[in-house]
Structure 1
Amino acid sequence: MGYIREYYEQIIKLQESEWSFIAKHFHRKVFSKNEIITLQGSTENFLSFIESGLVRSYIPDDEYGYTFGFGFEKEFICAYDSFLTRTPSEYEMQALTETVAWQISYDDLQKVYKETNVGNHLGRFASEKLFLSKSKRELSLLKFTAKQRYLQLFTEQPELLQRVPLKYIASYIGVTPQALSRIRRQIN
């Protein structure tokens, strides 16, 4: 759980009593490669911090679905809209590799918010980070060509291109795998 504390302490220094209270509400969970973490149609009950592994968020459809997000080590992941509204998720989250996560339930997170001031501060920070990431992605889809989106990934998130199968990269930037192959040939 040291990574979670390290993440939090980049934002705010925690008192030992605050950390102990927060930490006791997290539970370790291991997901196998390709395991579905959140199933479409089910209500998201956990906010998860990735200790190790890689997760994708996608709308199931054809062979690959529509990928719209990835989660890496030392990041929080969640079908956040479902988590907040307590309604069924319209998408799925899948572990692309074996993934170790620390999870806190919706109810336990509400306890942390109620019992600690630092919990509210940390929750707001995590929410703002998720919002900014989603906004950036939406703007990218509206403003840039597929080639520009691929190049943006190449410069801003090279780990994505090294760790994620190309079929999911193609879906993420909004093209078919064949179109992504053409883009990659043009760049090389």
Structure 2
Amino acid sequence: MGYIRAYYEQIVKLQESEWAFIAGHFHRRVYAKNEIITRQGNTENFLSFVESGLVRSYIPDDDYGYTFNFGFEKEFTCAYDSFLTQTPSEYAMQALAETVVWQISYNDLQQVYNKTSVGNHLGRFASEKLFLAKNKRELSLLKLTARERYLKLFTEQPEMLKLVPLKYIASYIGITPQALSRIRRQIN
């Protein structure tokens, strides 16, 4: 739980009573490597803070699926659109390694929003951060070549290249694993 508090206190200093109320709504959960966290078609009921491990969001298909996001350590993640609207998710989420998360349910988060002024501030910050990351990725897909997207990933998120299998990296930047191999050979 200390990581969540540190994350929040980057934004605002919490009073002990506020922290105790917020922390009381989170529950620890461990997912095994490759375990599905949220199934496509199920409603997302939890906002998760990744303590350790790695999560990918993807649209399932016959091969690897279409990967479009990753949740790294010390970040919040979930099928956020499903969580906000409480409707079935159009994609799945999977632990790519053993993953420890702290989860808060949709209903508990509404209580935190309703009973603490700091909760709304923290929620807005988390939402804005998720929106900005999504917007940045969409612009990258529209404006950059596959090679440029890979190089940008290489410079901005080198940890991703160490942790994530290349087949998912390829999908994330919108190309096949074979095309990624060609790009990597050209760069080396």
Which TM-score band applies after superposition, normalised by the shorter structure?
over 0.9
The 5 A counterparts of 1:137-148 are: 137-148=137-148
- Could you list the runs of 5+ residues in structure 1 that have no partner in the other structure? none
- Equivalent in the alignment of 1:32: 32
* 1:69 to partner: Cα distance: 0.3
The 5 A counterparts of 1:146-165 are: 146-165=146-165
- Equivalent in the alignment of 1:3: 3
Give percent identity, aligned residues only.
83
- Equivalent in the alignment of 1:80: 80
Aligned-pair Cα RMSD in Å: 0.3
Listed one character per residue, the Cα deviations across residues 2-24 of structure 1 (whole Å, up to 9, x for unaligned) are 00000000000000000000000
Indicate the SS of the match to 1:108.
helix
- Equivalent in the alignment of 2:173: 173
Q: TM-score, normalised by structure 1?
A: 1.00
Listed one character per residue, the Cα deviations across residues 4-49 of structure 1 (whole Å, up to 9, x for unaligned) are 0000000000000000000000000000000000000000000000
- Equivalent in the alignment of 2:61: 61
* 1:62 to partner: Cα distance: 2.3
* 1:110 to partner: Cα distance: 0.1
- 1:172 partner letter: Y
- Equivalent in the alignment of 1:93: 93
Listed one character per residue, the Cα deviations across residues 83-111 of structure 1 (whole Å, up to 9, x for unaligned) are 00010000000000000000000000000
Indicate the SS of the match to 1:94.
strand
- Equivalent in the alignment of 2:114: 114
- Could you list the runs of 5+ residues in structure 2 that have no partner in the other structure? none
- Equivalent in the alignment of 1:102: 102
Runs of 4+ in structure 1 deviating by more than 3 angstroms, as ranges, are none
